Structure 1
Amino acid sequence: MTDDTPAYTDHAALVPADYTAFEHLLAARRDGHPFIHPKWEMLLSTSSTSSPGTWEYAYALFHSPLRFAFTDSSPAAEDVVRVFFDEDGRALPDRPASPRPDSPLSKDLAEHLPGWSVEACHLAPGRALVELEEQTWGWGGSQWTSTAGPHDASDLTGPAGERLLAVRLLPDAPILVGAAVPDGVRPFDLGQARPPAPLSVGPTAAAATAITSVIAPRYRQAAWQARVGSMTFAIDSLRDLCSARITRPRRAGRRAGETFESEAVRGRAAWRHIETAIAAAPAVAAAIRAFTVAEDRLDPVVRKDLQQLTLTEGALTRLQEIRAGWQEEIAAFVDTPDGSWLRRQAEDLRNQEAWPHAQRLAEGPLTALAAYITPRIGAPVPDREQQMKAALARAGNLPASPSLTSPPAATAAPPPGRHRPTR
């Protein structure tokens, strides 16, 4: 997943008196009674119900106003505590460092799915159950709440990057297998991609067969659509920012150095698209490498794009390094009095350093090549030796100036789902 998920304060830093304060503040907010706590202040509270009106979860965000009493800074995500509550308003302490539970389902699936990574899911009330629900993709509704979870659940990762969830709602219930949100794609970036519907199967062996033969191939196609859609939107947005003009103030008394403020605004707008791109694009680039056949390299336009792909991958690597360096830097002063101000300064420096690499990414061939190989996703990749033989046999029949954007011949129907890539 992308790195913009808020990193709230670890509950390990809290004591029982803090949870008591959270419960009192939430009760006062719900009852409309004034209540002031000397240490904690509620920022917001929210709850969720399913379509029949069944309660699912409730949580609230708190921060300590004492840290900001003598500054103009606002609390960053790292200064905020997120607390889940049960239906009666009792706080649910978070246990992010707890070991994975003993899972008979995970052990059975691991034996029947060689080459797959099978891990038991955390099922502690509160954050664990809510985040498990947030990872479901295309399940058609909530299967549990933040206080009443399934009997057993496993997170499955396939050899081609498939991410599935296997859940047993009750001890003797069938196994429910469905899609999880792909790595590198935020839930709200899934777009129009349609994941496979969950399947209810009985024995573990039958579940393994359904996973490998039915769900996994459909998942790969849906995940590809989601990643390409997320990446394309981010790159198109960066391309628009590249063409945007920077307003330079001309009023008397303005220093030339203040021009940076306009560039800083553009950099802040660009960074969220950079985060999206560097989350989804590496997997797209790897798939382009895997599904490129030898015949493609005989096409001058495709060959040129593949050569430029190396530069684009270099830009992605550099952006990832910049993000890692920035995260390491802000970790050093997150607890300092000027932490929020220093963080803003570090963000502007990060954006300034990242901008030329973002431009290279926006100008690269990723979106065109992704559109070019989309019809191949889900199909078996032919043997490389056979690819070369087929390419040499057809070399004399290639058009004089082939192009990724050239329309198909009039006598040939375009493959289903193929779109003309934009350059």
Structure 2
Amino acid sequence: MPTNDAESYLDHSLLTTADLTAFEQLLAAQRDRRPFTDSTWRLVLSSSARGGDGRWESAYALFRPAGAFANTAHDEETYVRMYFDEQGRALPDRPHRPGPLPPFGAELAEHLPGWTVQASPLNPGRHLAELRSQTWGWGRLPWDTVSAPHIALALTGPDGERLLAVRPGNDAPLLLGAAKPDDLPDYDPRAVQVPALVDLPPDVPPATVAAEVTSLGPHCLQAVWQARTRAATHAVEALRRLGSACIPAPGSPWGHGEIGSFDSPADRNRTAWPHFETLIDQGPYLVAGIRAAATIQDRLDPAVGPDLRRLYVTETALDRLREVRDGWRDAAARITSTHPEADRVRRRAENLRNEEAWTVGAPVADGPLPVLTAHLTPRIGFPVPDREEQVKAAIARSGNLPSHSTSLAAPASVPLRPGPQRPTR
């Protein structure tokens, strides 16, 4: 089943009024638990969400072509994702045409040099659902997929910080909080400190909001780093256990395994693949963050310097793993369900993917990623004084110079070091 709306689901501009009516009838029949069939579409699944107070928030359903329609107008593997209002009326996607910022957003942008301020689309259905999904650690939201907030601004900082500023109503308080980053992994909420939502008065001036934004930014970077680090470290630990507890595949770079609970290397490789996928998704962000936060003193430090010098090996292996996954996806896309041996061919392709990943991924599993991320975590997102300032501070602490000397005063503002942004391919 498709997982990426933008790439896998049918564009709503190709739908007709008759299609929308069929969707509404199919969903209504399912809700009423009565039989109903349509000659062109079949309901695959549906989902409705309500808040903790029982208030309706959103509903969507997946449909796919049925009957003769599937063999002519659309491919049989095509799905349509459709949102509905509480009465079961379809809410087709509307194109997002960026317009000018509202006056509040334009004034806020003037107080945030280096930041990008964009108005979020507020069309009922998909756009409002996406706005809800972008919130991170907000709790219950005061808008749904039909009733839009008065204003919603997406804020992106120079180091990759991402926040949302939402005013639910015309005279309502302004809500300011973290936005989910791209490729956010699953994580233990107890291990990640997502910054708390800030509730600002309705008449708050943009300058005050800008101050809150710059204060929240580093904490957002820290939370993202914690989530990525936790996921990658867990993946590395799992791969190391697999490498030591199972029979290594012939020619495996992990050559000291013992007989374990897997019947064959293929079973072990299949278990390892999800952990490699985690590293493919999170590793580039972490490598970029390490390179940005590391200093010359780190490279000269005998405790972490050798690991930093080995980081390029990890980076090369991550690139190779990504090529393995991309190659697999291209091959899988060519395996149609009409192929007489589609399942066997697909399983064979997966086994080859898993085997190759196990071989080329060893430098990542045996590499320094967990050690380096743990060493540099306290610096992510926050100002780091340069070497001259560190030397001055050390001299002041030694008593050779008075610590209150004006010549040793810290600069009024120290620019943030670049955060853990994913490098452009």
Query: TM-score under structure 2 normalisation?
Result: 0.76
Offset at residue 29 of structure 1 (A)? 0.7
CA offsets, 1:294-340, max 9 Å, x none?
33333334122112211011111222333344445555x48784497
Structure 1 position 134 matched with structure 2 position 137: no
Bigger Cα displacement from structure 2, 377-386 vs 177-186: 377-386
Give the match for residue 118 of structure 1.
117
- Quote the Cα distance in structure 2 between the aligned partners of 1:181 and 1:224: 12
* Alpha carbons of structure 1 residues 247 and 18: separation in structure 2 relative to 1, 3 Å: farther
Q: Which residue of 1 aligns with 2:363?
A: 360
Taking a change above 3 Å as real, the CA distance of residues 158 and 59 of structure 1, as seen in their structure-2 partners, is same
Q: Of 95, 98, 102, which residue of structure 1 is paired with 2:96?
A: 98
Equivalent of residue 272 in structure 2, options 270, 273, 277: 270
Query: Conserved in 1, the CA contact under 8 Å of 2:40 and 2:70?
Result: no
The alpha-carbon distance between structure 1 residues 119 and 276, as it changes in their structure 2 partners (threshold 3 A), is: farther
**2:246 touches 2:268 (CA, 8 Å); kept in 1?**
no
Structure 2 equivalent of residue 405 of structure 1: none
Deviation at 1:267, TM superposition (A): 4.3
Alignment of 1:222-237 (within 5 A): 222-237=223-238
Change (3 A) 1:243 1:14: farther
Structure 2 counterpart SS, 1:185: coil
Within 2, Cα distance between the matches of 1:384 and 1:57?
53
Cα 1:243/1:279, change in 2 over 3 Å: same
Q: Secondary structure at the match of 1:197?
A: coil
In the TM superposition, what is the alpha-carbon distance from 1:388 to its structure 2 partner?
9.0
Q: What is the rounded CA distance, in whole Å, between the counterparts of 2:68 and 2:328 in structure 1?
A: 23
Distance 1:9 1:158 in 2: 33
Partner of 2:409: none
- Give the equivalent residue in structure 2 for 1:107: 106
* Secondary structure of 1:79 counterpart: coil
Query: Could you tell me whether the CA contact under 8 Å between 1:285 and 1:313 is conserved in 2?
Result: yes
Cα shift at 1:230: 1.9
Cross-structure match for 2:14:
13
The residue number in structure 1 matching 2:27 is 26
SS in 2 for 1:137: coil
Asked if 1:86 corresponds to 2:99, the answer is no
TM superposition shift of 1:374: 2.1
Instruction: Measure how far apart 1:125 and its partner are.
Output: 1.1
After TM superposition, give the deviation of residue 48 of structure 1 in Å: 0.7
3-state SS, counterpart of residue 147 of structure 2 = coil
Residue 370 of structure 1 deviates from its aligned partner by 1.1
Q: Structure 1 CA distance, aligned partners of 2:320 and 2:139?
A: 39
Q: How much has 1:216 moved relative to structure 2?
A: 1.2
CA contact (8 A) 2:128 2:146 kept: yes
Q: 1:169 to 1:239 in 2, by over 3 A?
A: same
CA RMSD for the aligned pairs?
3.4
In structure 2, the partner of 1:383 is 386
CA distance in 2, matches of 1:58, 1:326: 33
Q: Which amino acid aligns with 2:24?
A: E
CA contact (8 A) 1:294 1:388 kept: no
Compared CA separation, residues 374 and 169, structure 1 to 2 (3 A): same
**1:92 offset after TM fit, Å?**
1.1
Q: Give the deviation of 1:130 after TM superposition.
A: 1.3
SS at match of 2:139: coil
| Structure 2 runs not aligned, ≥5 long | 250-262, 395-425
> Residues 136 and 297 of structure 1: is their aligned pair in 2 closer, same or farther, counting only changes over 3 Å?
same
Taking the aligned partners of 2:144 and 2:363, their CA distance within structure 1 comes to 45
The alignment covers a number of residue pairs equal to: 369
For 2:208 and 2:332, how far apart are their aligned partners in 1? Answer: 49
Contact 1:246 1:263 in 2 (8 A): yes
**What amino acid is the match of 1:150?**
P
Query: Partner of 1:294 in structure 2?
Result: 296
CA contact (8 A) 1:101 1:122 kept: no
Q: How does 1:326-365 map to 2 (within 5 A)?
A: 326-328=328-330, 333=334, 337-338=338-339, 346-365=349-368
Q: Say which of 194, 198, 208 aligns to 1:206.
A: 208
Per the TM alignment, residue 284 of structure 1 is displaced from its structure 2 partner at its CA by: 1.8
Identity %: 49
What is aligned with 2:60?
A: 59
> Structure 1, residues 228-286: CA drift from partner, whole Å, max 9, x if none?
112222222333333453699xxxxxxxxxxxx96555444433333322222222222
Once the two structures are overlaid, the 10-residue window that deviates more, 180-189 or 307-316, is 180-189
Cα pair distance change 1:149/1:240, threshold 3 Å: farther
Instruction: Verify: 1:147 aligned to 2:146, yes or no.
Output: yes
Q: Deviations over 1:378-421 (max 9, x none)?
A: 44223256679999xxxxxxxxxxxxxxxxxxxxxxxxxxxxxx
Q: How far apart in 1 are the matches of 2:105 and 2:347?
A: 43
**Is the deviation greater in 155-164 or in 372-381?**
372-381
Checking the alignment, whether the CA contact within 8 Å between 1:42 and 1:62 is kept in structure 2 is yes
CA contact (8 A) 2:40 2:68 kept: no
In structure 1, the partner of 2:164 is: 165
CA distance in 1, matches of 2:392, 2:362: 38
Q: Which residue of 2 aligns with 1:241?
A: 242
Aligned counterpart, 2:402: none
Aligned equivalent of 2:42: 41
Distance 1:335-1:88 versus aligned 2 partners, 3 A rule: farther
The 1:58/1:344 distance shift into structure 2, 3 A limit, reads farther
Are 1:165 and 1:180, in contact at CA under 8 Å, matched by a contact in 2? yes
Gaps of 5+ in 1: 249-260, 392-423
Rounded to whole Å, the distance in 2 between the matches of 1:309 and 1:118 is: 35
Write the distance in 1 (CA, Å) between the matches of 2:67 and 2:246: 42
Alignment of 1:63-82 (within 5 A): 63-66=64-67, 79-82=78-81
Larger deviation, residues 307-316 vs 317-326: 317-326
Secondary structure at the aligned position of 2:127 is classed as helix
1:390-409, aligned counterparts within 5 Å?
none
Give the TM-score of the pair, scaled to structure 1: 0.76
